Structure 1
């Protein structure tokens, strides 16, 4: 009887397992397979090309590719600044919502979640128009305030993209942190107030430690998203190609190799390398944050 119930329960996961296999496992396996080959031109290239086994040659080339490694370093430096700022903003908003009444928190929660509901490409187009010195309101506003800023200048491209990503992502992260705050026993707050603790002390000593798991989760998701950033820089490239080149981020390098250079095997190898880097970065982040939590 128990075994029958287990099989029935497992049957509900079959659609997910089938979708996961066809949409994730098989494509990953095919990418690994393609990364082990390369195209070799015959003669002067007039006789076509042949596919030959290359082993790990594409991976060795990727590990010495200055454009690919430079794009990873560029995005990692950006993530070290943008992710903490976004998570800190989301945490502050979640703490403010937790201090409101349930009805007021519900209204503001929906309002703050609206940017996340907008597709990323649409959000990028909206902000590019806001940044535009021809049609956007931000440049005239800056001139009125005495600032001569150019959101597409080399020194401003990453802050401009970071502002867009923060605006688009704080609502989602805020909801996760706010949900974790709702699970904290209210009795702890009442006991702390009776002991004379201020609201700031309650937030720092009780609320923040209890949402550490939610912060780790949102941090992991942000790391994965940041190393795969593509839409925003690609759209910025249409506006300022002299600042955002085709190797600005790792995914842009892979896209250029696959669809512009036609080197699908090398692009597959770079994709596998990026996936390994993502896994390693996520693992290290989780280990470090877990040690801090245990301490």
Structure 2
């Protein structure tokens, strides 16, 4: 029986091996996944973001760029409605020759050159204090520094307009015994009054970002520096600040973009500024004035010029910091 069964089993094995496909055996009813389908799976997960990003970000940029290539033309005595004609250089030429718009660009550039370093320097000092080994009540101070960011910009500007008012300013009331007063809405101080509000609102937010980067520094490095006799200031200068270079670059770029988008604070302060803050105080306000006048194409051209300027400055800053990092 054994010799008869062996050929039967051998033939059965050969027949099974001949019919089964090479590779792993598949379960009944299982389906193989094509490589192309596997590659599409990540795109399916990213599809909601891609759709929203394209619809809410890329589409408006494309629409503004196309709209800026058309200019409004009036015929006759101007009694008829203006018509939009394809004139790709008209709006850009007008914007570059517009003293109000170019002045707003220079004003915002000055704002960024002064306010951004001051704000990030203050944020860095706060982050180092939060990270100090001898600090007490870190949670309370982190929360209190972050609270101004949680207040909407319009609400913060309304509160500060009360602080700046020549009639109700508590700051000037405190200075009355000294015979001094701060003209917050003077033409030379109006920009820095706005800068004070922005610094108050965003310094704590940037400090939290820098503080998070400080938490990634290995504790062994800090302990080794302390054992070598390094002071807290030397540790901060030689170890902590170089370690948060990436966070500083990130917050600087965000601050540059935020400076170019300056709108809420000067718009809220404009009615009480006595004319020192005009309707074209910033590039965004200038574009908004063009929209209010019904010239959407001119506003689009101003927006495109502002976006290009911010992109060039951000790219140059990235390249500059990259070279310094490699050096």
Structure 2 residue aligned with 1:185: 218
Bigger Cα Rg: 2
Matched, 1:277 2:309: yes
Structure 2 residue aligned with 1:62, among 73, 95, 108? Answer: 95
Structure 2 residue aligned with 1:265: 297
Cα separation, partners in 2 of 1:134 and 1:273, compared to 1, 3 Å: same
Cα drift, residue 103 of structure 1: 7.8
Structure 2 residue aligned with 1:89: 122
Cα drift, residue 274 of structure 1: 0.6
Alignment of 1:71-90 (within 5 A): 71-90=104-123
Structure 2 residue aligned with 1:119: 152
Q: TM-score normalised to the size of structure 2?
A: 0.85
Q: Deviations over 1:98-152 (max 9, x none)?
A: 0157983222211111110111111111111122232331110122344221211
Tell me if the contact between 1:223 and 1:282 (Cα under 8 Å) persists in the aligned partners: yes
Cα separation, partners in 2 of 1:185 and 1:3, compared to 1, 3 Å: farther
Alignment of 1:110-189 (within 5 A): 110-189=143-222
Q: Deviations over 1:178-227 (max 9, x none)?
A: 00000011111111111110000000000000001100000000000001
Distance 1:146 1:48 in 2: 58
The answer for unaligned runs of 5 or more in structure 2 is: 1-32
Structure 2 residue aligned with 1:210, among 243, 265, 268? Answer: 243
Tell me if the contact between 2:290 and 2:296 (Cα under 8 Å) persists in the aligned partners: yes
Greater than 4 Å deviation, 4+ residue runs: 1-6, 100-103
Distance 2:123 2:296 in 1: 39
Tell me if the contact between 1:83 and 1:219 (Cα under 8 Å) persists in the aligned partners: yes
Q: Deviations over 1:40-98 (max 9, x none)?
A: 11211223222211122212222232221111111111211111000000000000000
Cα drift, residue 155 of structure 1: 2.3
The alignment partner of 1:39 has SS state of strand
Structure 2 residue aligned with 1:26: 59
Structure 2 residue aligned with 1:99: 132
Q: TM-score normalised to the size of structure 1?
A: 0.94
Matched, 1:196 2:229: yes
Distance 1:65 1:289 in 2: 34
Tell me if the contact between 1:132 and 1:139 (Cα under 8 Å) persists in the aligned partners: no
The alignment partner of 1:20 has SS state of helix
How many residues are matched? 294
Tell me if the contact between 1:133 and 1:140 (Cα under 8 Å) persists in the aligned partners: no
Tell me if the contact between 1:154 and 1:243 (Cα under 8 Å) persists in the aligned partners: yes
Structure 2 residue aligned with 1:9: 42
The alignment partner of 1:125 has SS state of helix
Question: CA-atom RMSD, angstroms?
Answer: 1.7
Structure 2 residue aligned with 1:229: 262
